[in-house]
A = this chain, B = another copy of it.
Amino acid sequence: MSPAIQNQSSSFAMAIALLRRDLLLVYRRRSDSVTVLVFFSIVVSLFPLGVGADPTMLRLIGGGVVWVAALLSAMLSLPRLFSSDFADGTLEQLVLSPQPLALTVGIKCLAHWLATGIPLALMAPLLGLQFGLDSDALWVLSLGVLMGTPILSLIGAVGTALTLGLRGGNLLVALLVLPLNIPVLILGAGAVDAAQSGLGAGAHLSLLGALLIMTLIGAPFAAASALRISLD
């Protein structure tokens, strides 16, 4: 085997091993995933309390509220992406790994999405139900969250990587990441609305898909350089 090939195959094996480690951590911290879900539900439930319980109005704002809450929940779970690794020195080791850093970042985002994105997508229709969304809209909501959350994780990775070790990091991440995620929110909530008003949600969802692909290609590299900068 030529060294190049050997290197590649071992790089793949390493990626798998890294994913397994991250998933093990997710499993050990499974209460965290539950917490994200509960936070999600609480935020969604705050709204009827804040804005009043008129069912027609709730049906109108339902999709948007669930989406905003999903965005906030995904954002609040971001510190787990890198912060603990940064604090305990694992991040230094990741940067010093012979593995390409962007790949490592991608793997960590994948694990993060499995731990938060999928649960959120499963939970979203349940919460949508509370607002009286119809079944088409619920499907679209769930699918949208499923496609949107990886974008949130990836853009969030860039944001957290940039703010590692800075004071007020948590809020700063929100500041950097929320505006960048507005397209996801608009497309996602727009899809629900379109589904509810009988127009197809296809256009919205395919735009979301395009956004996902773009982010998948670009964000890991941006996050990797951000990590290097933060450790300097």
Contact partners of A175 in chain B: CB under 8 A: 35, 38-39, 42
Q: Are A182 and B49 also in contact (CB < 8 A) when A29-B168, A60-B57 are?
A: yes
Complex Cα distance, B47 from A68, in Å, reads 7
Report yes or no: B189 in contact with A49, Cβ–Cβ below 8 A.
yes
- Distance in Å from the Cβ of A230 to the closest Cβ of chain B? 17
Report yes or no: B49 in contact with A185, Cβ–Cβ below 8 A.
yes
Complex Cα distance, B31 from A168, in Å, reads 8
Copies in the complex: 2
Report yes or no: B68 in contact with A35, Cβ–Cβ below 8 A.
no
Report yes or no: B50 in contact with A65, Cβ–Cβ below 8 A.
yes
Interface SS majority for chain A: helix
Chain A 63-79 residues near chain B, CB threshold 8 A: 63-65, 67-68, 71-72, 76-77, 79
Report yes or no: A77 in contact with B189, Cβ–Cβ below 8 A.
no
Q: Are A76 and B42 also in contact (CB < 8 A) when A50-B63, A60-B52 are?
A: no
Contact partners of A24 in chain B: CB under 8 A: none
14 A-B residue pairings within 8 Å (CB atoms): A29-B168, A38-B175, A39-B175, A42-B175, A46-B68, A46-B182, A47-B65, A50-B64, A50-B68, A52-B64, A61-B61, A76-B171, A77-B171, A80-B168
